[in-house]
Structure 1
Amino acid sequence: MNSAPLDLEAPASWPEVLRAYLAQHHDFFLDWETKREWATGAGYDRAVYGLESLLRQYSLVGWHCTRLTEDEIAHIRSGGMQPMDAAMLERRLDAVVAAGLLTETMAGKLKARHQAREPSRAGRVWFCFFPPRHAGELGIGRFFRHWGGEALYNSHEDDPETGAALRSVGVPCVIEALVPLSSLGSLGFLPEKIARRHLIAHGHQTVEPIDHEGAITSPLEAARIRRTALFPSRKFGELTGCDGWRAPVAG
């Protein structure tokens, strides 16, 4: 696996084998994205599958927006990240009870209602592969205001009691990591977005999205954690753009 990340903003820096593939299929991708005069769906699928196969050997810089305790941040720095599941969520709740951050009664209420067993959430850690500030307060603000992750606070953020408890735990944090594309359960529409970035770099206009989000489904080792930017550090502000938000980032 190539440990060097693809710089999505600089297609000219991409590895020669990737640039050669995109050059070979340039006219096809261009027709599909603009006119669709002769590019067929079957041919497009073959081109995309070939591009996906190439991409899986590379990595991207990704950012995970969350709220964590000091102990959790230290554990990620030393041990990496593990995909979330219900058992992990319950262990985290037990840990904050042991640290005196929540009562056992409150933890019991939180354990009784969450979404960590849902197929769309279990076994995943989500990253955006663009600077988080591009998503704005509407896109990322909620991640920082409640501890426990979306699978927990989705069920509690509007509850006056449990929502307030989740806002009392942890510190807003952005985890920057070098994410192997082979660790994503699915590349989703990343190949198409790479093709669009190639076309844009060659002077063409596209209308479909080029920014990408994805979820790892396997552990991410500590060596791939590049930094943890904590609120209210300057780096946190640069990554999130939170200084211009309407609501306080710390909740």
Structure 2
Amino acid sequence: MAPLKLDSVESLPSPLRAQMLERRAVFEASRWLDDVLKDPKVQMIELELEAYLRTRQVVGYHCTREPEPGYFKRHGLRALSLQEHQAWFLATHGHHFTSEEREKIETAWDHYFVGQQVKARQGTLWFCLTAETVCDGTDALFKYNGGEAVHKPLRDEPEIFVKLTSIGRPVVVEASVAGRDIGPHQRLALPALTAFHRTIRSDANGQPSEGRIVGSITPGAVLAVRSPIQFGLSDV
């Protein structure tokens, strides 16, 4: 079966959609999903929908810069290992930097990535779970090569930052992700409920939806590699 897009009503099983239609008045009463979820029946629908989505493959959007055309289709997306990723970055792109700049980069990495800064990232991959979220606070991921594991500690080095913008091209990697693998803190049902809510009233409030997995994405699970322009971003 094709992976489900969480921001589409097509991700809703027909029986649950029928139950939601029975609560149409509740969805009509407020543009805020938090208000809608105060209804006990809608709460039950959310729980059932969440359980269902955890059994399915869903579409995730990874925002990054592609080192060269076709890279992610060939290699997939690897879970972050800070040391391996940083070593790969310098081995692949280190020729863009002077020896002094390379020393600054490595020193900044060593000072910044300690303790929680490592624990929060190591072994994980982050995804936007709706197309709308791709446009929300992702500018730096598109602009600077290497992701946060490279650029985060280098904000005070403008010459290095400029070079990071010249490596690769901004892309959105669309991938098939197992719902069960997405961190339990992320409620997968909310984007789908929002999609339904918007069929009832166009001003229904959306909210950024993202999640992380522990592990990598194989090349076969990469569905597409798209330009951010296709998601409405024009200044990346």
Q: Which of 11, 17, 20 is the equivalent residue of 2:15?
A: 20
Question: Cα gap change, 1:7/1:165 in structure 2, threshold over 3 Å: closer, same or farther?
Answer: closer
Would the aligned equivalents of 2:20 and 2:42 in 1 still touch at CA under 8 Å? no
CA distance in 2, matches of 1:30, 1:123: 44
Q: TM-score, normalised by structure 1?
A: 0.70
| Structural mapping, 1:64-143, within 5 Å | 64-70=62-68, 74=71, 76-96=72-92, 100-102=95-97, 103=99, 104-115=102-113, 117-131=117-131, 135=135, 139-143=137-141
Question: Cα gap change, 1:70/1:38 in structure 2, threshold over 3 Å: closer, same or farther?
Answer: closer
Deviation of 1:220 after TM superposition, in Å, equals: 1.1
Question: Partner letter of residue 219 of structure 1?
Answer: S
Question: Cα gap change, 1:214/1:9 in structure 2, threshold over 3 Å: closer, same or farther?
Answer: closer
Question: Partner letter of residue 189 of structure 1?
Answer: R
CA distance in 2, matches of 1:140, 1:88: 23
CA distance in 2, matches of 1:100, 1:204: 53
Would the aligned equivalents of 1:84 and 1:124 in 2 still touch at CA under 8 Å? yes
Question: Cα gap change, 1:217/1:206 in structure 2, threshold over 3 Å: closer, same or farther?
Answer: farther
Identity across matched positions, percent: 21
Give 3-state SS (helix, strand or coil) of 1:147's partner: coil
Q: Give the corresponding residue for 1:232.
A: none
Give 3-state SS (helix, strand or coil) of 1:148's partner: coil
Which stretch of structure 1 is more off in the superposition, 61-70 or 30-39? 30-39
Deviation of 1:133 after TM superposition, in Å, equals: 8.7
Q: Does 1:195 align with 2:193?
A: yes
Give 3-state SS (helix, strand or coil) of 1:60's partner: strand
CA distance in 1, matches of 2:37, 2:77: 46
Aligned pair count reads 226
Q: Give the corresponding residue for 2:230.
A: 238
CA distance in 1, matches of 2:203, 2:143: 35
Question: Partner letter of residue 238 of structure 1?
Answer: Q
Q: TM-score, normalised by structure 2?
A: 0.73
CA distance in 2, matches of 1:66, 1:163: 15
CA distance in 1, matches of 2:25, 2:142: 39
Deviation of 1:29 after TM superposition, in Å, equals: 8.7
Q: Give the corresponding residue for 1:150.
A: 148
Question: Cα gap change, 1:122/1:27 in structure 2, threshold over 3 Å: closer, same or farther?
Answer: farther
CA distance in 2, matches of 1:114, 1:70: 28
CA distance in 2, matches of 1:96, 1:9: 37
Q: Does 1:208 align with 2:200?
A: no
Would the aligned equivalents of 1:5 and 1:59 in 2 still touch at CA under 8 Å? yes
Would the aligned equivalents of 2:171 and 2:225 in 1 still touch at CA under 8 Å? yes
Would the aligned equivalents of 2:7 and 2:130 in 1 still touch at CA under 8 Å? no
Structural RMSD (CA): 3.6
Deviation of 1:24 after TM superposition, in Å, equals: 3.5
